[in-house]
Amino acid sequence: MAITDFLERNAKLYPAEVSLVEINPASQPDHAVTWREYNLIESSSAEKYRSEMTWKEFDTKANRFANLLLTRGIKKGDKVAILLMNCLEWLPIYFGILKTGALAVPMNYRYTADEIKYCLELADVNTLIFGPEFIGRVEQVFDHLHGVKTFFYVGNNKPTFADSYDKLVSFCSSIAPAIELKDNDDAAIYFSSGTTGFPKAILHSHKALVSSCLTEQNHHSQTHNDVFLCIPPLYHTGAKMHWFGSLLSASKAVILRGVKPEWIMQAVSEEKATIVWLLVPWVQDILDALERGDMRLKDYRLDQWRLMHIGAQPVPPSLIRRWKAVFPGQQYDTNYGLSESIGPGCVHLGVENISKVGAIGKAGYLWETDIVNENGEAVAKGEVGELIIKGTGVMKCYYNNPEATAAILKDGWLYTGDMAKLDEDGFIYLVDRKKDVIITGGENLYPVQIEDFLRAHKDIKDVAVIGMPDDRLGEIAAAIIELKDGAVCTEEEIQEFCIDLPRYKRPRKIIFSSVPRNPTGKIEKPKLREIYCSGRLVEAQTTK
């Protein structure tokens, strides 16, 4: 079956029930009123604070866009790129593309103009739909794009070179196009996070998308009564594949445009969210705001919030202990995955394994895992090796890149590039990215282990450890430390704190600065290496 079948089923079974809600807190002028009350207030604002869509409207919008694409000559196998911020139209547009048999190509909203051009051409895109935030970037490359012939614009004040999605789609048929979709048909191209340079194009089938639905619901037991709060960007596999649990259970999802702690808590309270997927920085910000007294739990309705889960990056065990102290009755889970494995879920901790916090878990539903040495042989429990995975969610290939595909896909196994080990109970612990391992004086250092240790310091908000070139040792560990607001700390205090680490694991250099993360929460270590290891080392502030 195709992923679009679930949407059509929901539209038939629950036509009048709400499928999606969009909340835009920045447009609310008066926080004294509730969101539902505000929605009833007449406003001249062009951007609504709260909007919603039923399952029937969702499917109708997808059908209309599919038929609009067909009038422009889009056919099965073509590629249509989406360059939009999170919004209510995002998912109907995505499903409209799929209904034509074309491939949806979601794009990172942080891409520069050059990266937009690179990805459009890499994926052989012939149609682009974009929003107002991207007019300038698209204009920069418009005259230099090869292959992109059609441009649709979502919003007001469209540029002259694009057609208005909003005006044209309303004239199109609301009947689903009669296009047969099969399990193995190509469905989408996602881009890698680009942490090793320019992104790679990852090709997935409808079978992989459906597999992600089944895995997600098996792990988190979504029912028709659940409400999922979606905050991360929809262009990324993580957010969308967690939402696939809502698609499968025909339950409501809330798209929150903003990550301030009070916005997240208010969204949970007002929309009665039961499941929330957070990134590590957002969890830290919520806990810090509660500890400072900026927010009070009693001001929110949180009894229905049954599950908080985290993915996309290593999770410090100390952070989850802090969270559970504040939310003792709440379930916690973590998920591991890659865009190459259709997002999160190929490894899964499970809410019943809270005692194993720190592990990423065991093989997820419909997945297999192993940990191997450089010869592809399984390592013993406790030994570090490369995590490899197998399942129906594994990508078909890196599109237009057979060499990179051959390097990562071997005998049906996907080599993740993550170094990991098994404990005596078979739980997998991430050690670090293979490319991030620091070799200092012949010893292997795994930055994640040092980062987890440093995050236990009361004044540290975030930390990243990278290898710096060293004439004598080859590399040394450098810790880039972001302090909490108002905190004062010195290099000497950090070194004293590290006295409990083995000497070879202690960072040799301390830099007080911000820690950059991409939209999915991953530390941008290539950016840090470029700043601090390329001969352009900025003068770091040693106190704050």
Q: For residues 378-406, give the mean pLDDT.
A: 94
pLDDT digits (tens, 9 = 90+) for 112-146: 898 899 999 999 999 999 999 999 999 999 999 98
Task: Dig out the tokens for 191 from the structure.
Answer: 């881009």
Distances, alpha carbon 50 to alpha carbons 45, 131, 256, 315, 401, in Å: 12, 19, 10, 32, 42
- Look at residue 81 and give its three-state secondary structure: strand
Q: Residue 160 has what pLDDT?
A: 93
Q: Residue 441 has what pLDDT?
A: 60
Give 163's strand partners: 152
Assign 8 a pLDDT band (cuts: 50, 70, 90): very high
Assign 539 a pLDDT band (cuts: 50, 70, 90): very low
Assign 244 a pLDDT band (cuts: 50, 70, 90): very high
Q: Phi and psi for 361 in degrees, rounded to 5? A: 120, -150
pLDDT digits (tens, 9 = 90+) for 46-101: 457 899 999 999 999 999 999 999 999 999 999 999 999 999 999 999 999 999 99
- Look at residue 483 and give its three-state secondary structure: strand
The owner of tokens 């999606």 is 20
Round to whole Å and give the CA distance between 124 and 401.
13
Instruction: For the chain, give the longest Cα–Cα distance.
Output: 70
| DSSP structure string for 155-223 | SSS--TTSEEHHHHHTTS--SPP-----TTSEEEEEE---TTSSPPEEEEEHHHHHHHHHHHHHHH---
Q: Residue 38 has what pLDDT?
A: 42
Lowest mean pLDDT across 2-11, 225-234, 464-473: 464-473
Round to whole Å and give the CA distance between 97 and 91.
10
Q: Assign residue 229 a region (left: φ > 0; alpha: ψ between -120 and 50; beta: otherwise).
A: beta
Eight-class DSSP state of 75 = -
pLDDT digits (tens, 9 = 90+) for 425-483: 999 998 766 677 787 765 667 787 888 889 889 899 999 998 888 766 667 889 999 99
Q: Which residue has the higher pLDDT, 338 or 187?
A: 187
pLDDT digits (tens, 9 = 90+) for 501-518: 878 788 999 999 999 887
Round to whole Å and give the CA distance between 521 and 314.
10
Q: For residues 148-176, give the mean pLDDT.
A: 95
Other beta carbons within 10 angstroms of residue 416's beta carbon come to 23
Q: Is the pLDDT of residue 37 over 70?
A: no
Other beta carbons within 10 angstroms of residue 245's beta carbon come to 26
Q: Is the pLDDT of residue 293 over 50?
A: yes
E strand intervals along 275-412: 275-278, 307-310, 331-338, 343-348, 362-363, 367-372, 385-391, 397-398, 409-410
DSSP3 helix / strand / coil % (the chain, rounded to 5) = 35, 25, 40
The owner of tokens 């989850």 is 320
Q: Is the pLDDT of residue 324 over 90?
A: yes
Round to whole Å and give the CA distance between 511 and 454.
13
Determine the Cα angle at 117 with ends 156 and 536, to 5°: 110
Domain spanning 437-532: CATH 3.30.300.30:
yes
In three-state form (DSSP H/G/I as H, E/B as E, the rest C), the secondary structure along 399-460 is CCCHHHHHHHEECCEEEEEEEEEECCCCCEEEEEEHHHCEEECCEEECHHHHHHHHCCCCCE
pTM: 0.82
Round to whole Å and give the CA distance between 96 and 238.
20
Task: Dig out the tokens for 143 from the structure.
Answer: 């005259």
Q: For residues 361-380, give the mean pLDDT.
A: 94
Strands 127-130 and 79-83 turn out to be parallel
